Amino acid sequence: MPTTVQVNLGDRSYPIHIGMDIPLAKSVLDRQGNRALVVTDANVEQLHGEALRRKLKDSGLDCVKAVVPAGENSKSLETAQRLYQQAALNGIERSHVVVALGGGMIGDLAGYVAATYQRGIRLLQIPTTLLAMVDSSVGGKTGVNLEQGKNLVGAFHQPVEVDVDLRLLQTLPQREYVSGLAEVIKYGIIWDAEFFALLEQHADAILTRDPALLERIVARCCEIKAEVVAMDEREIGPRAILNFGHTLGHAMEKIDGYGRWLHGEAVSIGMRFSACLSARVKGLPNSDADRIVNLLERVGLPVVFGNERELAWDSVWKVMQTDKKTFRRRPRFVLVEKLGAALTGCDVPDELLAESWHVCCK
Ligand code: GLY
């Protein structure tokens, strides 16, 4: 039996269905106007495009196929414009739906198209990576990149349903799968110490992608994300805890060029850095900081750069100061007092940042 997690946002509430071979688009099909622009990338198209569109068609959804090149470069206004035109040429109307079939890039791009085409039409998320399943497909953040930075243009636009078909994980390359585990571990660190302990206990089975365990883990991550988003949909306050490890992680991605580090890999090093800061300024017991580093390493995530990926502190510091989430031009950090208890908006003295960088990350 699939698991269903509800995101409670009043009239914008929606279900997340999680399981193996789950029915698709249930909420979409309850209503009139069963036509969809199904947006995917060339990689997902090759592996799953045909089969999933057939499944959507069998449930009564008339599908217009829209395939964009794989990779972060497609998350642009130019690609969005091509999708608007494709939607218009194929008679996609306000009562219809955009289906985001892919990882985080596709969810953000197709979500932004759904948020803006004809002033907003319905969005169905079918995430195909672990990272998208536990994070980006839930919560309504959509957007595209500009030359000047990531996600600088976007909108909050909640999906009407998220369908997490865990079978899609079986074809995910190991490096991508492990990268997604960084966000899974993040939920344990910021919100649920028991969940963190469960991840420690089952680290080996997680790496074998055990289906029953995956359903339990993905469902717990979605429950936590749903709870946080229901508290603070537009990230005025507490939703920022989801950015644990991301201040440094985003800076690394920006300096090194997107693609060199997978998002979860950069966040993993960022979480190690934040654990180190938390132990220094928020009293996180050293034993808990060690547990964080050990779990990241056990699942195969990087916690230091290594010599071949040397990064200079000065350049990291400069980029962190231009992050969209700075306050009075100073980077802010999410830190933890203990496992499961996070604090947002933490300012850390410059010398401590530099020292922690040199001690923990190199
Ligand atoms: N990925 C962070 C958020 O959805 O707020």
Query: Structural domain boundaries of the chain?
Result: 3-171, 177-360
Specify the CATH number of the domain 3-171: 3.40.50.1970
Active site residue 246: yes
Which atom of ligand 1 is found nearest the CA of 141?
A: 4
Choice among 17, 96, 186, 250 that is catalytic: 250
Active site residue 239: yes
Alpha-carbon distance of 235 to 39, in angstroms, equals: 27
What is the torsional sign of CA 225, 269, 274, 204? positive
Alpha-carbon distance of 334 to 343, in angstroms, equals: 6
- Ligand 1 centre to CA of 94 (Å) is 27
177-360: CATH, from 3.40.50.300, 1.20.1090.10, 1.10.390.10, 1.10.10.10: 1.20.1090.10
Which atom of ligand 1 is found nearest the CA of 135?
A: 1
Residues contacting ligand 1 via CB (< 6 Å): 135, 139, 141, 235, 239, 242
pLDDT per residue, tens digit, the chain (362 aa), is 799 999 999 999 999 999 998 988 888 876 666 899 999 999 999 999 999 999 999 888 999 999 999 999 999 999 999 999 999 999 999 999 999 999 999 999 999 999 999 999 999 999 999 999 999 999 999 999 998 788 889 999 999 999 999 999 999 999 999 999 999 999 999 999 999 999 999 999 999 999 999 999 999 999 999 999 999 999 999 999 999 999 999 888 888 776 678 999 999 999 999 999 999 999 999 999 999 999 999 999 999 876 656 678 888 888 888 777 777 778 899 999 999 999 999 999 999 999 998 888 87
